Chain A
Amino acid sequence: EPEVTQTPSHQVTQMGQEVILRCVPISNHLYFYWYRQILGQKVEFLVSFYNNEISEKSEIFDDQFSVERPDGSNFTLKIRSTKLEDSAMYFCASRPMNTEAFFGQGTRLTVV
């Protein structure tokens, strides 16, 4: 069964460094998302991406964040100048038209 894959599964980075989280959505899906879940808290929407551009972003998704679809398969989230409070689980999700979103297994980011 097709699945959304994310790498790495764990990432430890020093405060102030840049990280790139990678996702390979399911191949025929049209909509791509990044979500974040701080430990013990709810899943929060960050950004949606459709037709090679950002379609919506939350107030969390400020200039520190950016997304790219550099080729036909990858979808990346870049976090610049990481802060301690960026430590969280980051989930990528994708979906075709009018059905549920499928989530990747997540990248656990720890900023030290």
Chain B
Amino acid sequence: GQNIDQPTEMTATEGAIVQINCTYQTSGFNGLFWYQQHAGEAPTFLSYNVLDGLEEKGRFSSFLSRSKGYSYLLLKELQMKDSASYLCALASISTDKLIFGTGTRLQVFP
């Protein structure tokens, strides 16, 4: 089985930087994804790591360490619209289905 753990809630200030962590226990996976989900809406893709290291996409970066079972999503220059849930998900080796963590609800304050 796969266990994926994320903090339940985080708060941050507009303009700041926030790091959302994800730890997992699994026998293997194809890649690790980060999605953003606003309340009542669909998950939208943010970032994807296959190999260890940092992937940067504008204000969002994601890091993966397979040996440590650990990933993080880094959000820079926070904006109010970044208030949402951030979902860490592992893609299975067989069918690439996504197994999601519980998500981290981020609230950005002025």
> Interface residues, chain A, CB within 8 Å of chain B?
31, 33, 35, 41-45, 48, 50, 55-56, 89, 91, 93, 95, 99-106
Contact = CB atoms under 8 A, between A and B. Distances in A.
A95 B96 contact: yes
Contact of A106 (B42, B94, B97, B103): B42
Interface of B: 33, 37, 40-45, 48, 87, 89, 92, 94-103
Given A43-B100, A56-B92, A106-B41, 11 more contacts: A33-B97, A33-B98, A42-B87, A43-B43, A45-B98, A48-B95, A48-B96, A95-B96, A100-B33, A100-B48, A101-B33
Contacts of A55: 94-95
| Chain A binding surface, main DSSP class | strand
A31 B95 CA distance: 9
B42 A103 contact: yes
Contacts of B89: 43
Contacts of A106: 41-42
B99 A45 contact: yes
Contacts of A91: 42-43
B6 to A, nearest CB: 10
A55, A93, A100, A101 — most chain B CB neighbours (10 Å): A100
B100 A105 contact: no
Contacts of A48: 95-97
Contact of A103 (B40, B44, B103): B44
B98 A101 contact: yes
A56 B94 contact: yes
A76 B42 CA distance: 18
